[in-house]
Structure 1
Amino acid sequence: MYVNRTNGFPTVIDVPREGTAPLLAKVLGITALGFFVTAIGVATAPPWSMLPGFIAVLALVFGINAVRRTNAGLAMALFMALAFFMGWEIAPIIHMYVRMIGPGIVFQAAVTTGLGMTAMGCVAYLFSIDYRKLSGIALAGLLLLILAGVASMFFHFMSPNTYSWIALAIFTALTVADFARIRAGGDGMGAVSLALGIYLDAINIFMILLQLFSGRSRRD
């Protein structure tokens, strides 16, 4: 599920905030619709849905990147398909937490994710941020975290809780970078591609929070 993208040239933010407001509104509208479709995917997912959902999401990410510059309508359709199958991918995990702890933990994680995304969007719009540099640093950190997680499976030097907090910090940085990219005018990317970045950031943050909140609930 850890999917994102960047490239590396110096960034100059020279677009007035009001000039990017329509783009931001479009991106947020597409993202919100994606979350609604994901909820449908979660509600309709069969018990065996995780692996097919993962494969479909991975294929659709590549599909969106392949057609985003040539066919915006097809990219939008592929994004909605991705959102549906993302629901399939995460549904077994969500249903497990609901059975173990209750539906309130899902609501708590969703609300916290929404509030956090709002705060990160405000930070990106209030300050001039070199989104390429921030995204590059965060992606490098994510790669190192994944490698450390694999190594920890054998040497047990990192607890799951520590791993989750570090992952949350990394995806927070990626989210700020993605909002800053919109603030800077989109970096030549279309609304669907920008929405895909925000959507994937939010899904990852939601799943991390769900794990952290569930750990706290079990300790309580």
Structure 2
Amino acid sequence: MYDTTMTRRAPRASANALFARTMSFVAMTAGLFALGAYLGRNLAHAAGFIAFIGAFVCLIAMRFAATRSREATVALLGAFGLLMGIAVSPTLVYYATADPQALWQAGGATALFIGALGSIGYATDRDLSGVARVSFWALLGLLLFGIVAIFVRIPHSSLIYSVLGLVIFAGFTLVDFQRLRRNQDIESAPLLAASIFLDVLNVFLFFLNIFGGRRD
């Protein structure tokens, strides 16, 4: 008789393995991010900008390396985390000096935000491809709003920017965690980890701006 139990277990085991590997890569990237933030604590803002460009290059290179070398993809993911830590270090140093409590508040809020939205995205069977498209175009709109706000005074623009950013990355978080559940290709773990780490980082920075009490 045909055993359907094994058929059901195979995809589940594959999904569990992918989840474990992806989240281990997220943890690795977060650790290297922390190291980069420590190493870059005394660097000038110009060095942080160069590090940001380097992190962006690593992110693009991962797309090409993913189909060629798993080791190179993982190495690029690690370099991405390290360089992003250096890039964000001036911001973290600023808050650590001006309002250290905001760092803890942003960290706690980020953990709750990602935990809740990630769980929903991982559990839902609803197709979220529409959410992905809307979030992408909304992100472009948010970037445009940020550029306009540099040159045009908009009341509470910083708060508006952060709140809208949280709404947009709520969508990205839902989509990325659903991709994590539906994908069965273990080799996709580094790319999924990069996407989830970016969700976490952006949510943290938006919360940091809110709790930091910046005023327009």
Q: What range is the shorter-chain TM-score in?
A: 0.7 to 0.9
TM-score by length of 2: 0.86
| Larger gyration radius, structure 1 or structure 2 | 2
1:155-194 superposed matches below 5 A? 155-157=152-154, 159-185=157-183, 190-194=188-192
TM-score by length of 1: 0.85
Whose helix fraction is larger, Structure 1's or Structure 2's? 2
Distance 1:210 1:85 in 2: 20
Distance 2:71 2:93 in 1: 33
Aligned to 2:213: 215
- Tell me, yes or no, if structure 1 residue 53 matches structure 2 residue 48: no
Over aligned residue pairs, what C-alpha RMSD do you find?
Answer: 2.1
Task: Note closer, same or farther for the CA distance 1:187–1:130 as it changes in structure 2 (3 Å cut).
Answer: farther
Q: Identify the match of residue 125 of structure 1 among 122, 125, 135.
A: 122
Residues 58 and 77, structure 2, Cα contact 8 Å, conserved in 1: yes
Shift of 1:184: 1.3
Provide structure 2 residue ranges, at least 5 long, that are not aligned to the other structure: 1-9
Residues 129 and 177, structure 1, Cα contact 8 Å, conserved in 2: no
Identity among equivalent positions (%) equals 27
Q: Partner amino acid for 2:22?
A: V
1:81-100 superposed matches below 5 A? 81-100=79-98
Task: Note closer, same or farther for the CA distance 1:215–1:189 as it changes in structure 2 (3 Å cut).
Answer: farther
Task: Note closer, same or farther for the CA distance 1:56–1:186 as it changes in structure 2 (3 Å cut).
Answer: farther
Aligned residues: 202
Q: Identify the match of residue 30 of structure 1 among 25, 30, 34.
A: 25
Q: Which range moved further: 142-151 or 29-38?
A: 142-151
Shift of 1:55: 1.2
Task: Note closer, same or farther for the CA distance 1:77–1:188 as it changes in structure 2 (3 Å cut).
Answer: closer
